[in-house]
Amino acid sequence: MKITILQGAFLPVPAIRGGAIEKAWNSLGQIFSKEGHEVTHVSRRCDGLKEEEWIGGVHHLRVSGFDSVQNKWLLKLKEWFYVYRARKVLPASDILVTHTFWAPLMLDPQQYGKIYVHVGRYPKGQFKFYSKASRFQVPTIAIKGAVKKEIPYRDKEISVLPYPLDWDVKSYANYETRPKRMLYLGRLHPEKGVLELVNAFREVSVKLRGEWCLRVRGPWKIEQGGGGRKYLSDLQKVAKLSRGTIEILDPTFSQVELINELEASRFFVYPSLAEKGETFGLAVLEAMSCGSVPIVSSLPCFKDLVASQKTGYVLDPLASNIEKSLSRILLDAIQSVDVAKLYSSRCLERAKEFELDRVAQKYLEDFSSMLTEKES
């Protein structure tokens, strides 16, 4: 098959600025190529990346994009210009994968290939206008339900396929010898509940908390999807009051460094408040694959990964006092070493189901099925 992957306007590929969608489709493209398919990846040109190059058998084409902004209308306008530029370099393909807002409206399947829409965010009414799309791929059952509400008459064209892990799961021994550390890795943005997390950690009694610490790491700049300098400042103010038990560190986009952080943490805390934002917890899955036990909010997108009292701890993001609720969960986790050790082993087993080769085959099967259906 000839497969083109059209990424968004704001982050480059490879994912040197982060981005779950960018990471996932870059990895999937590599596997598609290894399986003998002709893969072209179109993405934003920035940070010294070449306009055209080959990486691991994948043909990368890049066009000028934009830094992200907070104004949603300006965001959409910038993406329109990006897709307009991108269509000038898009090759003729069998399948065009995209998560951009405009591509399913602007691009002709007869010229660019059957349009395979990756749903990377909760739908906001646009799918009823995507008559040119042949398939809607969603990462979780919860997102399928949301898409189905918009286009119930296209239920058979909605596929549930998860994001893949970027590495193979290995075994870990001696969970209890890891540093007494809780970790948050992700965008430093209000919708992620990071300020609530640092406040909740401070609420845990110093006497009960003992040697435990919290490390927070991620991009804060608006153009990288963060909450901006003021939000970072608010986090740093709380950290200063913690007497060194809370660290706010610069982001890392290195896979090696990411894995090292996860392997050196007992718990991965991701208290997202983005009820209509999160579609799949890739960061949570990555933590589970390294044996770090997740503490997550009870958003629908996490239910496919984390089962309360089995593979992690779950927080109600709508609790009247979320910081107190989270504080109690953090303390419970700290005081339950044997339980956490059991959860850690279960996390590793669950994560194996999302290894890259296995997930990539499911996508290829879905591509083939879509092409066959359209030909029949």
Q: What whole-number distance in Å separates Cα of residue 105 and Cα of residue 117?
A: 11
Q: What is the structure's pLDDT at 258?
A: 95
* C-beta of residue 63 within 8 angstroms of C-beta of residue 82: yes
Calculate helix-pair angle for 194-203, 322-334, nearest 10 degrees. 60
Candidates 78, 77, 86, 79; CA nearest to 107 is 86
> For residue 218, what pLDDT is reported?
95
- How high is the pLDDT of residue 246? 97
Distance of CA 144 to the CA centre of its chain: 17
Give me the domains of the chain, ranges plus CATH numbers.
2-164+355-375 (3.40.50.2000), 175-353 (3.40.50.2000)
- Rg of the chain (C-alpha set): 21
Predicted confidence at residue 223, as pLDDT, reads 85
Q: Residue 345 in contact with residue 309, Cβ under 8 Å?
A: no
Cα separation, 102 vs 81, in Å, equals 10
Please, what is the Cα angle at 279 between 273 and 284, to 5 degrees?
A: 75
CA atoms within 13 A on the CB side of 357: 5
Cα–Cα–Cα angle for 283, 285, 287, rounded to 5 degrees? 70
pLDDT at residue 376 in the model: 43
In the β-sheet with 181-185, what is the strand arrangement from edge to edge?
Answer: 246-249, 213-217, 181-185, 267-270, 293-297, 313-315
Phi, psi of 182 (to 5 degrees): -105, 145
- pLDDT of 346 reads 96
Tens digit of pLDDT at every position of the chain (376 positions): 999 999 999 999 999 988 889 999 999 999 999 999 999 999 999 999 999 999 999 999 999 999 988 898 999 999 999 999 999 999 999 999 999 999 999 999 999 999 999 998 888 899 999 999 999 999 999 899 999 999 999 999 999 999 999 999 998 878 989 999 999 999 999 999 999 999 999 999 999 999 999 999 999 999 888 999 999 999 999 999 998 999 999 999 899 999 999 999 999 999 999 876 678 889 999 999 999 999 999 988 898 899 888 999 999 988 889 999 999 999 999 999 899 999 999 999 999 999 999 999 999 999 999 999 855 4
14: cis peptide before it, omega within 30°? yes
